[in-house]
Amino acid sequence: MVLKGETLIVKAIIQYIKSMGGDAFHVSGNGLQRVGEPDIDGWIPLAGLPLAFGGVVHLKLECKGKNGVVSPLQMHRINQYKEANYVAGITHSIEDVKALLNAYKNTALEASRGNDCLLDEEQEMSLGSGDGDG
């Protein structure tokens, strides 16, 4: 049995995710699955994430070979998962997965810093506005 380029990419990425302490599986496209679902569904621990994120991210990855084309429905599904705070995207290699994870981590850290600042300002306002009546 000869494996297609996309299948080899899927297998390599799943192996990488498992080697990093996560888990993933290949979503096979058949009549029992929802059309347009990404090829890989999984999770991976991501060191350095703020505690609010639990240190784990959920993955939805669409794998494409050298000449693979992303359908509009596949892109729509990827965008839905991104909006739901998944690491989601189109991948051609393990390097693409690493880039998606780094981008997600950086975004999460930025958001975390922004939330910390807002909480500090609110705390300062509530402390500064008290009149001593408790």
pLDDT in tens, 56-95: 899 999 999 888 999 999 999 999 999 999 999 999 999 9
Structure tokens at 104: 């997600």
As a CATH number, domain 5-129 is 3.40.1350.10
pLDDT value at position 53?
65
- Assign residue 87 a region (left: φ > 0; alpha: ψ between -120 and 50; beta: otherwise): beta
- The CA–CA distances, whole Å, from 87 to 9, 24, 75, 90, 112 equal 17, 13, 14, 10, 17
pTM: 0.78
